[in-house]
Structure 1
């Protein structure tokens, strides 16, 4: 299987795995070749795409809007979805990356983006709820501190109240 796969690899891919061609892996050579081809080609694709898309971020866009923006930026180049995919995934929030990254390459990037849009909406809703909860908790703590401080000020005023009378006498 290793030899058959090796014969079918395009020349540019063979260059990326030359070390495996020169010295056939001893344990599961086909699996090692497959894993190495995927890993190294993804690195090459990502490097090429990163050069064209150096400062792209999700920002206020949805994942599918970001994908459309990235596609527009690479229009007219040799970069396709295969190269965009790892760069696009790295632009996603850290909580989403593992789920999106494990989506099958059988799924189109558009389908992955639709799933990412749903996840992004859910994540934003969770973050908004957490933020509101934190604000309510902070408000309760501040209100409590203000009440305690008001009581202390009131007690100080009560202690100081008789003093002005004593001074006048």
Structure 2
């Protein structure tokens, strides 16, 4: 009997992996990892099986070479790495989105800041530069109110203040 099968329990069988999220594959894998940790699923083979089960057809086509023959050594880690590499946005694309396409939209200022940090990816940027870029994405009315305090205040603290200003402006 396969030793990884001894890991299967009723709790394991009830694992509810979220639907694949192509807009942020990295966060999707973080959700899956959290579920595996909560259910104490450590077997690479079982993790691999759950992962394959949730992959949409268009993603399966991109990694079919890894699905046709399952490697004995770390199949889940290898498949995860391949998906991130083949399907995920490159660092360059994420940076382009950060500088060119990010908008406040329906987000609050405090939601926008972590989103921008995610898009920064593995790249480095000073807090001052991130604060400046983030402030550029906010409505001028909010930035004008905060201008006197923005320079020396941490971006996360500024985001909290800006959320309150944003709420008050929305209520008017």
TM-score of the pair, normalised by structure 1: 0.42
- Larger gyration radius, structure 1 or structure 2: 1
